Structure 1
Amino acid sequence: MTGMHIGYDLSFTHTEGAWARQGSWIGRDFPDVRMFMELAQTAERAGVGLLFFGDGSGIPSTWRGSIAPAVEWGIQWPRHDMSPVIAAMSTVTEKVGFGLTYSSTFMHPFYVARLLNSLDHVTGGRIAFNVVASTRGADAANYGFTELMDHDLRYERMEEFVDVCRALWDSVAPDAIVRDRSTGRFADPAKVHPIDHDGRFFTVKGPLASVPGPQYHPLVVQAGNSPRGIAASARFADLVFGFGGHLASQQRHRKLLDEALLGEGRDPEHVGILWATQVIVGRTKAEALARCDAVHEFWNEEAVATYLSHNAGYDFSTLPTSFQLGELRDELAAANASPAGIVGSLVTEFGADHTMSRGEFFAHGRGRATGLDHSVVGDPAAVADALEENFAATGSRGGFMFSSPLAMPSGFAGISELLLPELRRRGALAPAYQGSTLRENLAV
């Protein structure tokens, strides 16, 4: 066991009311890059391995077919392309890594491979690519899709997408660049090759017109939780994201991933899972619980419904008065929405045959929207106890991707200043920054 690796999920530091809560910046607002540069320095001092940015390119419009609720309450928007922000953060840090998300459902692999290569150079080998299969109608509409791509087809496209990226990164050999000043010879043509890819989804000539990056291949991260998504993880992911908060689901994910990795001829001991875990830590339990109350105050019914519908890719305003959870899961799958998330969690907890009322569904959904249904809350010792227990019960490979519903920067500052020192004192964390690249530093 190497100890826990820690990442910070910075995807929603400014949405769902966080921008206005006590402890938020005064005089700075998203997307002021200085906020993120300062946070990166704080995280690096605490030994955080990865600063992660998820992404979505559409304003949520699934709930009743309107963007108005999301716009009014700041639900999952605004979202910017964070690649230039990562570049700026890298200039004031030396060790902490950065995760950038692009959709294989909508993007082209040549563009993404080229961009990530450039960022790998800019960051000095500290970039990770989080590849996602998109399930949101608002995103799809911005890329010319009139309907969502079939669930399994999205993963077929993802696998080909990653294959193309890796072929492009391989198309210029690590030792191809000669730079012989005496002759003026820059590179060896025998070590630069087209990839001539002609697949189901992409046709790419190549080669990549770039100098190989410090990592050669940026770290590839993937978060599929369905059987098809886990199969994709087993095929190509260097690191996996998993849903935290429900131990039985986590253990199932770890077990299925291990089996799939063995089927691909890969060693499960060297593929970690970072469990997405919302943390609210205070100096005392009472202080932490008071911070929870501040999160609750923001969420009205419309905000909850907008959040749930957007993240599932399904308009929950159409729910009947009562329904079976398994039938709802199957309906989401048939609509090419996401049968995981809130619906998948409820099926795991209550069973597919359980009948639930519409009111009960949205009551559970409030916990999902706030994140308080899967949060670890308390003083540093209590939170550390819970994390150590969870880490051991899920295989002791990987660690945690912490998010915070509190204000920026106070929520993450509390984790950096209160929780991580407690975990490090216990010897629970992996050694910080053992290598020169992100791939080396997040190795399990």
Structure 2
Amino acid sequence: MHLALDFSWTQVETDWRQPTSWVNRSYPDVGLFEDLARIAERGLFDLIFFGDGTGIPNTWEGSIDAAVRRGVAFPRLDMSPWITAMSRVTSHIGFGLTYASTFMHPFYVARLLNSLDHITNGRIAFNVITSQRRADAENYGFDELMEHAQRYDRMDEFIDVCKQLWASVEPDAFIWDSKTGLVADPAKVRAINHAGRFFKVKGPLSVPASPQGRPVLIQAGGSPRGIQSAARFVDHVFGAGKGLKLMAEQRAQLDAALKAEGRDPQQVGILWATKVVVAETEVEAIRGKQRLIADVPPEAVGVWLSHNTGFDMSTLPPRFSLRELNQRIIAANASPIGFVGILARQYGEATELSRDEFFEHGLHAATGYATTQAGTATQIADYFEEIFEATGSRGGFMLVHSQAGHRALLQNITGLLVPELQRRGRFRTSYAGHTLRENLA
């Protein structure tokens, strides 16, 4: 198995309100993140992953007020400088950085990630997303969300351009001959002259080739269109935790799409988003899980749901079917998958819910409670093995942990769960490679 830690969020979960959290002492001091990186590397994790969004959520009631008041996706940092600091206190663990192809330009992103790959000695992954969030879109000059399929068309071209740019300077292009004064061979530095539907880029990149060839590519699309795009370029998929049946279905769909692209499905893993609470006893672990939903303000749940679907959940009627809700979401060019799509697949599109029932499901999703597994290291390892085998024994798990959460939860993962997985032969006992690509192989 491969293991990653997802440090994308500080909220909606209540970890930050615990006496042992980092918030009141240092958040977002760089020392906090260096501490997280050291602990994760001691646990031999492959990757620390940072999802991102650049806008303060404003879909709920058309305002940022509730998001600011409750701290939903706020504050949220551009993690590239923090990753640089984290890489200086570690040697092997990788770092996943997120940018939206819907808004960014491929030349800028390709150059930045290549530069970070040099700083980290080949430990960068690029998580490319197609944002459905209105708050992000408005910060980049969009009055409306780009249509769902068009977002993926743009992402496909975006990645094509990045890959061309990363290959535009050959690994042995630089000579640095002090006697002749020759720096690089012009024959090995070539323009790409890309002219497509969304981008026109001459190239080449102005930096040396990446230490690992190019950054590792990660993508989280779970819709049919998202899976189609992932099959074209992805190294690993970031999959939503959504029950064993749906996870097995996504694995099968991805395998079929990879074969259609002429790629070997055995070479592409899925890292399943999972939240775990590990403790010495089951009772202690369950108590920790219950804290996730303790005293969570209802409006924080509404903000989270609205932001992550791109649809204002404050407009919901007293009763509605999941089919009706998804139709309204699609009409708004928001995301037809994710939380509402998973509910529809679990309970059926015709299922009717009251507003209160829907928000109860939303509470469990926003806090991660619905997909959190609580137990001893033995119980969690059993659960991981079941999913791993049912989804093709490729990939592993992206363990969600709050940036601001208390340190003990993370230390129990590295101190209790990791040794149990090692005892079963399911996880490494040392890093085999130097680059992230080598360790994920």
Output aligned runs, 1:34-433, within 5 Å: 34-404=31-401, 407-430=405-428, 432-433=430-431
2:12–2:366 Cα contact (<8 Å) kept: no
Deviation, structure 1 residue 27? 6.0
1:130–1:222 Cα contact (<8 Å) kept: yes
Specify whether residues 326 and 318 from structure 1 end up closer, same or farther in structure 2 by C-alpha distance, changes over 3 A only.
Answer: same
The one-letter code matched in structure 2 to 1:321 is P
1:171–1:195 Cα contact (<8 Å) kept: yes
The one-letter code matched in structure 1 to 2:296 is W
Deviation, structure 1 residue 431? 5.5
The one-letter code matched in structure 2 to 1:416 is T
Specify whether residues 442 and 169 from structure 1 end up closer, same or farther in structure 2 by C-alpha distance, changes over 3 A only.
Answer: same
The one-letter code matched in structure 1 to 2:9 is F
2:110–2:166 Cα contact (<8 Å) kept: yes
Q: Which moved more, 1:237-246 or 1:397-406?
A: 397-406
2:12–2:301 Cα contact (<8 Å) kept: no
Give the distance between the partners of 1:86 and 1:14, measured in 2 at CA: 20
SS in 1 for 2:358: helix
1:63–1:317 Cα contact (<8 Å) kept: yes
Deviations 1:335-373 (A, max 9, x none): 111111211111111111222222211111111111111
Give the distance between the partners of 2:113 and 2:11, measured in 1 at CA: 25
Residue 437 in structure 1 maps to residue 435 in structure 2: yes
1:18–1:407 Cα contact (<8 Å) kept: yes
Q: How many residues align?
A: 440
User: Which residue of the partner structure matches residue 29 of structure 1?
Assistant: 26
1:245–1:277 Cα contact (<8 Å) kept: no
1:19–1:29 Cα contact (<8 Å) kept: no
SS in 2 for 1:240: strand
Deviation, structure 1 residue 430? 4.3
Specify whether residues 208 and 221 from structure 1 end up closer, same or farther in structure 2 by C-alpha distance, changes over 3 A only.
Answer: same
Q: Which moved more, 1:230-239 or 1:338-347?
A: 338-347
Structure 2, unaligned runs of 5 or more: none
Specify whether residues 26 and 197 from structure 1 end up closer, same or farther in structure 2 by C-alpha distance, changes over 3 A only.
Answer: closer
Deviations 1:53-99 (A, max 9, x none): 01011111111111111111111211010001000000010000000
Q: TM-score, length-normalised on structure 1?
A: 0.96
Specify whether residues 316 and 402 from structure 1 end up closer, same or farther in structure 2 by C-alpha distance, changes over 3 A only.
Answer: same
The one-letter code matched in structure 2 to 1:419 is L
Q: Which moved more, 1:24-33 or 1:395-404?
A: 24-33
Report the aligned-residue RMSD: 1.4
Identity %, equivalent residues: 55
Give the distance between the partners of 2:11 and 2:183, measured in 1 at CA: 46
Deviation, structure 1 residue 298? 3.5
Structure 1, unaligned runs of 5 or more: none
The one-letter code matched in structure 2 to 1:115 is L
Deviations 1:79-128 (A, max 9, x none): 01000100000001000000000000000111100000110000000000
Give the distance between the partners of 2:10 and 2:23, measured in 1 at CA: 14
Deviation, structure 1 residue 13? 3.9
Give the distance between the partners of 2:373 and 2:276, measured in 1 at CA: 5
Q: TM-score, length-normalised on structure 2?
A: 0.97
1:194–1:207 Cα contact (<8 Å) kept: yes
Give the distance between the partners of 1:54 and 1:116, measured in 2 at CA: 15
Give the distance between the partners of 1:76 and 1:289, measured in 2 at CA: 26
Give the distance between the partners of 1:409 and 1:403, measured in 2 at CA: 13
The one-letter code matched in structure 1 to 2:416 is L
1:280–1:411 Cα contact (<8 Å) kept: yes
2:12–2:367 Cα contact (<8 Å) kept: no
SS in 2 for 1:367: helix
